[in-house]
């Protein structure tokens, strides 16, 4: 295994690629009782169209999420979730647009739990009856998501920004799309996407990297399968399809989300782009920015306000939103703030404070084993290592961040999604 030291962080990362193609990341934490493992497939809700060995394939929306629901079933009738819990572990799983992760955290019986994790994720067991039974459960989950204002304002915005990219559709699919999913569909997609060559295992805690590698070699298939290539459709421009969209739902106050697309950079340039985007958002709309403090003082914004830079399934986004009686005023204030930066740049003192705050936040994030391991798995398929972020953050200049504002945050790139209170009667 290759060893990479991060002296400023006090971390050492062991990385290896096994003969079957599996990527293994181990971050030893001597003396820590808690241990965490995530087994991730490069397969998410947006991976609906793909090619494998030159053959194009298309699947219904929601297969990746459906597969995650059914993977805990074992051929002997047991449920892996229950077995891990009985073993003292705290297990779970999730499906995003770009990845599916199965994970657990524990303080004891780590090796037993890791064996079970590797076993159930690599052992598909589906029947027509169990898949049919799960369909009703997932359909209910889909309907609950459709009734959620948070979900509605987000997916409305994605449909405003993207004309055809599959990220605009819900990860769980629709009631109609999941009706097309059979146990044969799940077996076929498991074989394609859950091959070790398309997966990554990340472990953090007081563990021996060589022992972890030995377990993986013992429990997983040795052959290397071909890797599927995602097809997200034609490249789209940066202008939104629809600038403003409103929908009425039973909410007490209007909810809004403002977003703009970015062109994601590959590899380490992509990591730098993410760091720049987050630093710029902190400067523009963070809790100590003139934008936020003035709108908060005026009652236009409240504490239910947040921002993020989201990169997933070949897309990049800047997002900010919350509650406001006047979402258009928020968007106008954002554009005014961007215009000021384009004209005069960022305040030097504010820029340095934001860099220090960002650095501190990243150091605090290293205490969360789950976020570190999931970040390692996700970044594996983006071509960079997230532990390089603090060092790259130190290199950023005001000029670089100001260029990002001028080039990527043009007024015409933004879209506004609003969920407003439904009028009675």
Mean per-residue pLDDT, 212-225: 95
Whether residue 34 contacts residue 187, with contact meaning beta carbons closer than 8 Å, is answered with no
CA 265 to chain centre: 16
Residue 192, pLDDT above cutoff 90:
yes
- Spatial distance between the Cα atoms of 331 and 244, rounded to a whole number of angstroms: 11
* 165 CB-near residues (< 8 Å, 6+ apart): 46, 232, 233, 236, 313, 314, 315
10 Å Cβ neighbour count for 63? Answer: 25
| Residue from 11, 68, 108, 134 carrying the catalytic annotation | 68
Mean per-residue pLDDT, 301-310: 96
Q: Is 383 left (phi over 0), alpha (psi -120 to 50) or beta?
A: left
Domains of the chain and CATH, by start? 2-230 (3.30.830.10), 244-421 (3.30.830.10)
The per-residue pLDDT for 89 is: 97
Mean per-residue pLDDT, 336-340: 97
10 Å Cβ neighbour count for 202? Answer: 28
Mean per-residue pLDDT, 158-185: 96
Q: Is 68 designated active site?
A: yes
Q: What is the pTM of this model?
A: 0.94
Residue 425, pLDDT above cutoff 70:
no
Residue 162's pLDDT band, with cuts at 50, 70 and 90, is very high
The per-residue pLDDT for 423 is: 83
Using a pLDDT cut of 90, give the percent of the chain over it.
Answer: 97
Per residue in 62-98, pLDDT (tens digit) is 999 999 999 999 988 889 999 999 999 999 999 999 9
Residue 252, pLDDT above cutoff 70:
yes
10 Å Cβ neighbour count for 252? Answer: 8
Residue 54's pLDDT band, with cuts at 50, 70 and 90, is confident
Instruction: State how beta strands 229-230 and 55-58 pair.
Output: unpaired
What DSSP string runs through 57-121? Answer: EE--TTHHHHHHHHTTB-TTS-BHHHHHHHTT-EEEEEE-SS-EEEEEEESS-HHHHHHHHHHHH
């Amino acid at each position: 295994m290759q060893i990479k030291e991060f002296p400023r962080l006090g971390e050492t990362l062991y990385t290896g690629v096994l003969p079957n193609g599996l990527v293994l990341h181990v971050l030893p934490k001597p003396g820590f009782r808690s241990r965490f493992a995530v087994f991730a497939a490069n397969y998410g809700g947006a991976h609906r169209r793909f090619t494998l060995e030159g053959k194009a394939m298309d699947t219904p929306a929601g297969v990746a999420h459906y597969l995650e629901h059914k993977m805990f079933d074992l051929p002997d009738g047991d449920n892996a979730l229950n077995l891990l819990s009985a073993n003292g572990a705290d297990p779970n799983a999730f499906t995003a647009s770009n990845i599916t992760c199965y994970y657990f955290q524990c303080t004891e019986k780590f090796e037993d739990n890791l064996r079970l994790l590797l076993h159930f994720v690599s052992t598909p067991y589906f029947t027509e009856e169990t898949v049919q039974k799960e369909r009703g459960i997932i359909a209910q989950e889909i309907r609950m998501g459709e009734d959620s204002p948070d979900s509605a304002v987000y997916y409305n915005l994605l449909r405003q920004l993207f004309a055809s990219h599959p990220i605009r559709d819900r990860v769980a699919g629709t009631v109609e799309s999941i009706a097309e999913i059979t146990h044969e569909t799940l077996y076929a997609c498991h074989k394609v996407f859950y091959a070790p060559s398309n997966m990554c295992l990340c472990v953090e805690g007081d563990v021996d990297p060589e022992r972890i590698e030995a377990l993986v070699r013992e429990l997983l298939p040795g052959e290397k399968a071909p890797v599927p290539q995602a097809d997200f459709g034609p490249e789209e421009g940066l202008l939104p399809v629809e600038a403003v969209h409103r929908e009425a739902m039973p909410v007490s106050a209007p909810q809004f989300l403002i977003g703009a697309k970015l062109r994601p950079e590959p590899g380490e340039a992509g990591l730098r782009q993410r760091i720049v985007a987050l630093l710029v958002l902190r400067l523009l709309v963070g809790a100590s920015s003139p934008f936020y403090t003035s709108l908060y003082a005026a009652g236009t914004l409240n504490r239910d306000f947040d921002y993020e830079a989201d990169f997933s399934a070949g897309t990049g986004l800047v997002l900010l939103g919350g509650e406001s009686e006047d979402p258009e005023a928020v968007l106008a204030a954002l554009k005014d703030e961007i215009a000021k930066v384009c004209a005069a740049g960022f305040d030097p003192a504010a820029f340095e404070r934001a860099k220090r705050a960002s650095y501190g936040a990243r150091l605090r994030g290293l205490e969360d084993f789950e976020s570190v391991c999931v970040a390692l798995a996700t970044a594996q398929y983006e071509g960079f290592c997230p532990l390089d972020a603090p060092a790259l953050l130190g290199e950023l200049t005001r000029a670089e961040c100001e260029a990002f504002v001028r080039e990527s945050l043009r007024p015409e790139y933004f879209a506004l999604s609003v969920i407003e209170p439904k009028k009675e009667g």
